[in-house]
Chains A and B, each alone.
Chain A
Amino acid sequence: MPEFTLWDIVRNLLLAARWTVALSFIAFLGGTVFGLLLLLMRLSGRRVLERLVGIYVQLFQGTPLLMQLFLLYFGLAVMGVNTSAWLAACVALTLYASAYLTEIWRGAVAAIPRGQWEASASLALSFGQQFRHIILPQALRIAVAPTVGFLVQVVKGTALASVIGFVELTKAGGMIANVTYEPMLTYACVAAMYFVLCFPISLYARALERKLA
């Protein structure tokens, strides 16, 4: 039976952690783009669009991310779409992130006094110009700290992608624990790596909050 050193464990976990980072990055980026789109739909003043986005947000906030992953992974397969665990995880986490981000940003936009909309409207700015030049720069200051804070949730959320067989940090930890018979050591390393990823982000969010307050 082969012997495993601590370095063997850490090295393999680090290799898998790349996928955690990649998945977080894609989910956050996709969530940002899609979330911004949802935000504009919500601010459009069209009742139907507002309602639809509202339902979308409630749906994703009211169900476990785990179920969303399952439904997407198996649901796509049932519908005949040839999907991989990687693709399903990316899509599910993107949708999940977009629902939360759009809600965070809606709150930030709502915090901008109505007078800002009115003053810019009375200066004949179009909706797009109002949003781009007046609302967005002010809302950004409010939203940036909670947005960065949410990134931590996304990083930890990627752990759930392990259940559909995507080999990221958590899944790799499980596999290594099985082979090495060192579950405590392995999972401690896994936890430490998540912490190393998340802690600086939390610190950064808090610093931003202080700076922009």
Chain B
Amino acid sequence: MIAVPESVAKGGPSAEPHTQVGAPILRITALRKSYGTHEVLRGIDLDVMRGEVLAIIGKSGSGKSTLLRCINGLEVFQHGSLIVDGKHLLYDNPKAMRDLRQGVGMIFQNFNLFPHLSVGRNVMLAPHLVKKRPGAENDARARQLLARVGLAEKFDAMPDKLSGGQQQRVAIARALAMDPAIMLCDEITSALDPELVGEVLRVVESLADEGMTLLMVTHEMSFARKVADRVIFMHQGLVHEIGPPAELFGAPRTPELRQFLSSLHD
């Protein structure tokens, strides 16, 4: 018998039971999404615990990026529900969307730095506008985050003067500046030259070590194996296999996953 908190009895919106300690930080239930008649996600159920690191793998077109982009509302889904840190995703409520997005950072394949702003201002813009963080504090925090990703000396540089790996690290600092509870990484090393992949993955790994909840769509299988707590193999818009990396990579149960893994070694 669980004691019912007062707010639940009153039916308050903050009373979602899964916001309690040990409950999932992200809960996706029966999520379906289609573009026109083509169904891309065909019923996804997924719970992610706080501090968990998830790697999402699968062929292109399997819906893995779409799933990631649903989590912060960049893609609109038609059926099902998505709850982040106790907040329901509500498309028709811009205020609720912004509240939810404050808790969800995202890093993109193409970095998407703001090219007209210096590195420092890229990092400081959102905390300034959205969190109203005071100037001096914002500045100090941005410098600290840039130092953390190894780019302290680039504070005043313009993004186009940086290498791809450096730009991606700035993007990570920019996302961290909003103090998100979850970080989404959408193939963040796919646009990088091979010699620059390592520097970005090292930063991501340090996030994982510090307990950040991470969901990453990735083609870096060895990285997924090393860092992820669970790996999700997506196939034709469904979670086809899910489990610890040793299990998925070591003993794939389905022919689709076996085929996918062997295709990587070709």
Contacts and interface: CB of A to CB of B under 8 A. Distances in A.
Contact of B101 (A115, A116, A123, A134): A123
B41 interface: no
Given A118-B74, A129-B129, A133-B129, A123 B174 contact: yes
Interface string B157-180: 000000000000001001100100
B94 A122 contact: no
A123 B98 CA distance: 8
Contact of B130 (A116, A125, A141): A125
For the side of the interface on A, what is the size category? Answer: 10 to 19
Nearest to A133: B125
Interface in A93-113: 113
Given A118-B74, A118-B108, A123 B116 contact: no
Interface string A118-152: 11111111110100011001100100000000000
B213 interface: no
A193 B183 CA distance: 62
Given A124-B130, A125-B129, A133-B129, A119 B101 contact: no
Contacts of A138: 115-116
B112 A116 contact: yes
B114 A116 contact: yes
Contacts of B129: 125, 129, 133
B120 interface: no
Given A122-B101, A124-B102, A137 B116 contact: yes
B125 A123 contact: yes
Nearest to B95: A126
A122 B102 contact: no
B81 to A, nearest CB: 20
A122 B130 contact: no
Contacts of B125: 123, 125, 133
A109 B157 CA distance: 25
B110 A125 contact: no
Nearest to B103: A124
Given A133-B129, A138-B116, A122 B74 contact: yes
Given A124-B178, A125-B130, A134-B114, A119 B108 contact: yes
B83 interface: no
Contacts of B74: 118, 121-122
Contact of B112 (A119, A124, A129, A137): A119
Contacts of B102: 124
Contacts of B110: 113, 115
Contacts of A113: 110, 112
B122 to A, nearest CB: 9
B114 A125 contact: no
Contact of A123 (B73, B94, B99, B175): B175
Given A115-B108, A118-B108, A124 B126 contact: yes
A47 to B, nearest CB: 14
Which of A113, A121, A122 is the most central at the interface, judged by chain B CB atoms within 10 Å of its CB? A122
Contacts of B116: 137-138, 141
A119 B102 CA distance: 12
B126 A125 contact: yes
Given A116-B114, A129-B129, A133-B125, A121 B94 contact: no
A122 B114 contact: no
A137 B108 CA distance: 22
Contacts of B114: 116, 119-120, 134
Given A118-B112, A124-B98, A126-B98, 13 more contacts: A119-B171, A121-B73, A122-B72, A122-B101, A122-B104, A123-B130, A123-B174, A124-B99, A125-B98, A129-B129, A133-B125, A134-B114, A138-B115
Interface of B: 72-74, 94, 98-99, 101-102, 104-106, 108, 110, 112-116, 125-126, 129-130, 171, 174-175, 178
9 contacts: A118-B112, A120-B126, A122-B101, A123-B101, A123-B130, A124-B101, A125-B129, A133-B129, A141-B116
Interface of A: 113, 115-116, 118-127, 129, 133-134, 137-138, 141
| A-B residue pairs, 8 tightest by C-beta | A119-B112, A123-B126, A115-B112, A124-B101, A122-B106, A124-B102, A124-B98, A124-B130
